Amino acid sequence: MADLSSFPITAKWPALTPERIQLYSLPTPNGVKVSICLEEMGLAYEPHRISFDASDQFSPEFLSLSPNNKIPAIIDPDGPGGKPIGLFESGAILLYLAEKTGQFLPKEASGHYEALQWLMFQMAGIGPMFGQVGFFHKFAGKDYEDRRPLARYVGESRRLLGVLNQRLETRTWILGDDYSIVDMAVFPWVRNLIGFYEARDLVEFNGFTHVARALEAFLERPAVVRGLTIPAETPAAKEVPANMSNAPHSAKPPERVFREGRFARIEPLDADGHGGDLWSGGLRDASIWTYLAYGPFSSEGQFRQWLQTREQLQDPLYFTIGDRTSGSAMGCAALMETRPEMGVIEVGHIFFSPALQRTPAATEAIYLLMRYVFEDLGYRRFEWKCDNANEPSKRAATRFGFAFEGVFRQHMIVKGHNRDTAWFSIVDSEWPALEQAFDTWLAADNFDADGKQKQRLGELTAKALGRAS
Ligand SMILES: N[C@@H](CCC(=O)N[C@@H](CS)C(=O)NCC(=O)O)C(=O)O
């Protein structure tokens, strides 16, 4: 276990999980840059709330890490050379995390410096100027008789928004097509200016349509939604047992979405549109239904009737898996047992026609659902459960990277038979590594001319998670 005792700040804010990055912050525009970044990168971290009400930022323990008495600051137990490192200044922290993970920062030299340039633009321009608007418009400075300081900072902020607006006129994000740490630095400040500082009209924000459009896209990102509230207020935090950690998240219920990969597409179940394909693909085979609570079906009509009852459900929410090229429906999977308040969701009700079984399209379909659950919906736990006697399902779960968690004995009765249920899960901190493993497996160069895989998915996912394959 990492030893952070040489950092005096840990005496006031003990590291309950010292192997994780320690974040000392508050959800202010500078603070959330780092919580958003950590969320986007899927890094495990432990947030500590630095209360300005309690003047925490002036305590000797906090100053030992951040001598300028400002949040955010971090300690990474696994810094350069594997040694712990402490850092303050949000821009420096964003750069450090981007370089550590190789994410959200262009790698080739000119793109890298372009990013630095815009990051400096935020740090030296947007942050300080917008901050002064806050002071003179909303806080102590609003009572100053002399209105010239306010006018100066409002004018300067308007000018900076104009620069940003022009930049975004031809780009999705500040650096172009790719979202980066620069967006994580800039947009919390824009949000604050027009929100908390109540300066929307003052800076004539409605004229900056490209900034508004990018801000909206930024605020829709699940990692941003989560990061904006971290570190949350936990008045009793000091009293919780040392082995309890915070679980900030905000997950949304799944919707009837369409997703497409290289081999597969998933779409909301449409009984009339998909029933014929599914049935003619071989779903009359009784072995497909052995472990499911329904089926087999004796005729296409009976199958379609049953499908019609399923397509209306919200939980389980059924998706049809189709072949990307031919478009024909070949199987189904559902998102179920949805508990957004807990950040927990399960994939189940999986049935594949023989032509879909053991194909890249089948694997990719599960991957598309996983990506939807973690990235778009913001879940912290994705479950797979099956009858403990269902060996192929258990093998599939392990191959996909789910961790086996144990067996609930006599958990259910299915079609009159006892079911002991095997539980598996993937948690959000595992997702970035797993996503890379899936991307490697699904890539064109992982298949030879006959479509045979070169690297096995089970080995890639086990390696990504540091498990024995
Ligand atoms: N340039 C610094 C600015 C940080 C900063 O201004 N933090 C504010 C909150 S947004 C703060 O800690 N204020 C407390 C104080 O000044 O006492 C950074 O980006 O990290």
DSSP string covering 423-460: EEEEEGGGHHHHHHHHHHHHSGGGB-TTS-BSS-HHHH
Sign for the pseudo-dihedral over CA of 36, 41, 42, 48: negative
Ligand 1 binding pocket mutation candidate from 48, 70, 96, 189 (most atoms within 8 A of CB): 70
Residue 176 φ/ψ, nearest 5 degrees: 130, -130
Domain presence at residue 251? no
Q: Considering 213, 246, 279, which residue would you say is the last residue of a domain?
A: 246
Q: Are residues 172 and 270 in the same domain?
A: no
Pocket of ligand 1 (CB under 6 A): 28-31, 52, 57, 69-72, 89-91
The pLDDT of 209-231, averaged and rounded, is 96
pLDDT band at 237 (very low <50, low <70, confident <90, very high): very low
pLDDT beyond 90 at 246: no
What angle do helix axes 127-137 and 181-194 make, rounded to 10 degrees? Answer: 10
Nearest CA to ligand 1 atom 8: 70
Q: Whose CA is nearest to atom 19 of ligand 1?
A: 90
State whether 188 and 40 are in the same domain.
yes
Residue 98, domain extent: 1-246
Q: What separation in Å is there between the alpha carbon of 71 and the centre of ligand 1?
A: 5
Atom of ligand 1 nearest to the CA of 91: 19
Separation of CA 72 and ligand 1 centre (Å): 7
| Alpha carbon of 300 to ligand 1 centroid (Å) | 66
- Atom nearest to 50 CA in ligand 1: 12
Question: What is the Å distance from ligand 1's center to 73 Cα?
Answer: 10
The rounded Å distance from CA 69 to ligand 1 centre is: 7
Question: Which residue has the CA at smallest separation from atom 13 of ligand 1?
Answer: 70
Half-sphere exposure of 385 (CA within 13 A, CB side): 18
Atom of ligand 1 nearest to the CA of 33: 19
Output the CA 54–ligand 1 centroid distance in Å.
Answer: 15
Q: Is the pLDDT of residue 24 over 70?
A: yes
> What's the CA-to-centroid distance between 68 and ligand 1, angstroms?
8
Classify each residue of 120-133 as buried b or exposed e, where b means 16 or more C-beta atoms within 10 Å of its C-beta: ebbbebbbebbbbb
Secondary structure letter of residue 121 according to DSSP: I
User: Which phi and psi (to 5°) does residue 228 adopt?
Assistant: -65, -15
Kindly report whether the peptide bond that precedes residue 296 is cis, defined as omega within 30 degrees of 0.
yes
Strands 264-268 and 381-387: unpaired
- Distance from residue 199's CA to the centre of ligand 1 (Å): 20
CATH number, residue 429 = 3.40.630.30
One-letter amino acid of 85: I
Confidence band, pLDDT 50/70/90 cuts, at residue 90: very high
Q: Quick one: pLDDT band at residue 242, thresholds 50, 70, 90?
A: low
Distance 185 CA to ligand 1 centre (A): 13
Contact (CB, 8 A) for 326 and 348: no
Q: Evaluate whether residue 407 is within a structural domain.
A: yes
Confidence of residue 435 (pLDDT cuts 50, 70, 90): very high
Cα of 89 from ligand 1 centre, angstroms? 8
In a domain, 341, yes or no: yes
**Cis omega (within 30 of 0) on the bond before 316?**
yes
- In this structure, the answer to whether residues 278 and 176 fall within a common structural domain is no
Ligand 1 pocket, mutate which of 30, 74, 132, 189 (most atoms under 8 A from CB) = 30
Average pLDDT over residues 299-321: 96
Same domain, yes or no: 403 and 320: yes
Distance CA 376, CA 224 (A): 11
Same domain, 225 and 282: no
Identify the domain boundary among 246, 268, 289: 246
Residue 100 CB-density burial (10 A; 0-12 exposed, 13-18 middle, 19+ buried): middle
Residue whose Cα lies nearest atom 2 of ligand 1: it is 89
Same domain, 217 and 283: no
- Average pLDDT in the chain: 94
The interaxial angle of helices 148-169 and 127-137, nearest 10 deg, is: 140
CA-proximal residue: ligand 1, atom 15 (nearest):
70
- Rounded Cα distance between 370 and 384, Å, is 11
Q: Are residues 281 and 216 in the same domain?
A: no
Q: Are 359 and 263 contained in the same domain?
A: yes
Indicate whether 99 and 5 sit together in one domain: yes
Alpha-carbon distance of 113 to 77, in angstroms, equals 28
Which atom of ligand 1 is least distant from the CA of 71?
12
Closest C-alpha residue for ligand 1 atom 6: 70
Cα distance between residue 15 and residue 156, in whole Å? 41
Per-residue pLDDT at 236 exceeds 90:
no
Same domain, 272 and 216: no
What is the model's pLDDT at position 232? 86
> Ligand 1: distance of its center to the CA of 159 in Å?
23
Backbone angles phi, psi at 396, to 5 degrees: -60, -45
Residue nearest to atom 4 of ligand 1 (CA): 70
8 pLDDT tier (thresholds 50, 70, 90): very high
CATH number, position 110: 3.40.30.10
Is residue 280 in a domain? Answer: yes
> What is the CA(188)–ligand 1 centre distance, in A?
13
pLDDT value for 433: 95
Q: What is the pLDDT of residue 468?
A: 80
Distance 30 CA to ligand 1 centre (A): 6
Pick from 24-28, 340-344, 446-450: least confident = 340-344
Q: What is the pLDDT of residue 251?
A: 85
| 467 or 160, higher pLDDT | 160
Site to probe by mutation for ligand 1, drawn from 37, 71, 74, 186 as the one with most ligand atoms within 8 Å of Cβ, is: 71
Segment 8-23 shows an average pLDDT of 93
The answer, yes or no, to whether residue 147 has pLDDT greater than 50, is yes
Question: What's the CA gap between 208 and 164, in Å, rounded?
Answer: 9
Rounded CA-CA distance 348/116 in Å is: 45
Q: What confidence score (pLDDT) does residue 2 get?
A: 84
Question: How many angstroms is it from 363 CA to the middle of ligand 1?
Answer: 46
Residue 247 pLDDT: 67
Sign, CA dihedral 314-322-296-303, equals: positive
Q: What is the pLDDT of residue 249?
A: 64
432 in a structural domain: yes
Residue 469 lies in a domain: no
Query: Looking at per-residue confidence, does 246 or 13 come out higher?
Result: 13
pTM above 0.85, yes or no: no
Share of the chain above pLDDT 90, in %: 91
Domain membership flag for residue 401 = yes
pLDDT at 235 over 60: no
Mean pLDDT, to the nearest integer, of 389-416?
A: 97
Residues 376/222, Cβ–Cβ less than 8 Å: yes
- 35, with CB counted inside 10 A (0-12, 13-18, 19+), is buried
Tokens of 247: 């679980």
Q: What is the pLDDT of residue 218?
A: 97
- Same domain, residue pair 234 and 349: no
Q: Whose CA is nearest to atom 16 of ligand 1?
A: 70
**Mean pLDDT computed over 86-112:** 97
**Looking at ligand 1, which residue's alpha carbon is closest to its atom 11?**
70
Query: Which residue puts its alpha carbon closest to atom 14 of ligand 1?
Result: 70
- Give the domain-ending residue among 200, 216, 246: 246
- What integer is the mean pLDDT of 406-420? 96
Asked if pLDDT for residue 367 goes beyond 90, the answer is yes
User: What is the H or E stretch that residue 167 is in?
Assistant: helix 148-169
Are the C-beta atoms of residues 320 and 331 closer than 8 Å to each other?
yes
Closest to 1 (Cα-Cα) out of 25, 24, 27, 20? 20
Q: Residue 105 pLDDT more than 80?
A: yes
Number of domains, the chain: 2
**274: in domain:** yes
Nearest CA to ligand 1 atom 10: 30
Radius of gyration of the chain measured on its C-alpha atoms: 26
107 and 132 housed in the same domain: yes
